[in-house]
Structure 1
Amino acid sequence: MSLPPYVSRSIVSERLPLIFPEGTPNRTYCIRELAASAVFTAIYIGAVEGAARYLGPVHVYRMTEQQAALADSGSREAYAAGILKKKFRVPGERWYADNTREPIRDETLRDGLVAVGAVLRREDLPTTSGLPRYQLKGSFAGLFDPALEGEGLEKAIANFQATHLSKSALARISIILAGAAGKEGGVLVTFPNKETRTLAPGPSSIISKDVIEVFSAHFLDKPAVLWLSESGNKVVAKDDKLAAAIGLKIEADKNLPDLILADLGPADPLIVFVEVVATDGAMTKRRKEAMLELTDAAGFPRTQIAFLTAYQDRESAGFKKTVAGLAWGSFAWLVSEPKGIIHMRDGETSFRLLDAVIKT
């Protein structure tokens, strides 16, 4: 089988972020220099689906600029076979040291490109085998053909994403794209009572929109929005009449969360305080206690209060930064996995409360 068209590492590096946009699981592993080096080398030696040749970390870390510049088939064939021999000489200085083997194998390949369906791994070799075991998927390798440009490249990338990226990955990407699309006109939100508001553009508004439109519809029987704010404590929506009807006094100058929802379905309404996290600001113990002061003053039993932190997804920087500080007894919800919910159970919070106020 002939080798794939030669492509430079710089072109590979340029295209990887297009193929794996923001929201892709473990995106860093898929687009960084080490990933570009691995993909370049796989194409260089012809380790592509359907060929009888496989890539190993050694092919990547022993590559040099001088060798990479040799684009003729003879040089590429010689490197592919020769690199597995101890006495094989490669001109120039190596790209990486021998101890890069583990990051290439474990991060770039296993947790990155294999996990997103771009790279295949041989399963017929023992785990202890030192033989090369990786190949690029044919459809993935084809995205780096230098002759593929412009609209043709865009269509090929879109086809690959639709076919190979997981549903959750596609959901994350859609969230990012939705945020980008809303940069000009803002984010339009439809409330449970069918009223609409336009929020300022940005990731926090995208998450707030999904809390109101998706979370509340799935987890609350008869949802209502009592309070909605944006950065800078700007009041976007405030339903004093409804809040007063259920005994809750909302004061804008208090330490309020991003959202206050109510479930009017139960005989005793449920109040849900929501923090929206794009980068920071989760429902911590301190924030939870501040909310309880408000509801205690209004005479609400604590069994009628719930606390939620809403994130874009578990791969987001905000989730990774703040999840360790979430208050016990609170919940976390991910826009990219809307049917699931995380319960920070502290051993005292009853599961019966969860069953009573949240539909599974």
Structure 2
Amino acid sequence: MRKPISRQEAERRLQIIFPRAAFDSVLSSPLAGMAVAALIHVDAVCSAGDKPEAVHWARPSTVIWMSDEALSRTTEADRLALRAAAAKGSKHVEALHKSWGVNFQPAYKDNSRETLRDETFRKWREHGALRMRPGLATSSSLPRWALFDDFADLFDPDLDGDAFQQAADQWREKHLDPGARLKALFALGTEAAQHAVTVNLPNGTTRTLEPGDSSLIVKGVVETWAPTRLAQPVVLAISEPGVKVHIGDEQMLQALGIKIDIANVLPDVVIADIGTEPVQFWIIEAVATDGPVSTERRKALLAWAAQQNIKADRCSFLTAFLSRNASAAKRRLKDLASGTWAWYADEPGNELAWYKLMPDADDL
């Protein structure tokens, strides 16, 4: 059986697959989230090529009778017992709950069945997410619904982050018509823009970063730390996870002879202080989870700087955290390389320095 998923997480993913700005909300409602969780829980999942008699079909009532207690029981034995009880009727589901020593408290009332069947299931079927058992009369009470396996794959708990987003994009590309795909992409883009982090650069231009703590740290570094700490800061580049690199001042990059290549070991932010003589380059890591300027990371960044013809004595290093109370700061402050600085976005007026009071013989 597939790994179970909570109804809340199923609903969250449905809202990404079928963004509400582009699709009817019944496709991604709390009831729809429960439907995904329930159908996966009882293994009502199939492929287009499966013979009907080999599929574990489910009724809308399988969803309506599902409880949080039942979803919390994730052993195969409990899930099979629930599937068998739901196939027989609500009294059997209630009896199963009593055998577990709990009261039967279904998440939805029976009158929700029509909404699920006539709206959510119908639209899912239109979009290729749900299969209806062939050969049954409309009046038949036999179970007839199962998720298609490629749709159920999107709710694998191990599929998350960028991998989930890519899988959702591929599923829409395969199953939705061009108009529906365009509406989905536009809605997702609009939503992302609403939550994006806009960074105002010293030269008056802006860069839009993906939402998240790392972007908030970068914003603090560029907009608060740099103007306070440096004489005349120029943001040369900001990098994000993956292959996203935002060029800061392109003319300054050309003047300094620096080429930003995503194949290199890029720091999160590169800022030049052109108000000093010679120009000083600040190489900055924004640490929301991991990746401070450790000794090894400092060596790698210096190697990167050397490729740009930047001398080591013109490089300064900053590790920026969200807060002293952030778990990343608590875990990684001890890993800072000697000769570097640290800064907290929620205490912008302060800075930590870590350096050797007495240089080693190797440093002389």
TM-score (norm 1): 0.47
Question: Considering only CA atoms, is the larger Rg found in Structure 1 or Structure 2?
Answer: 2
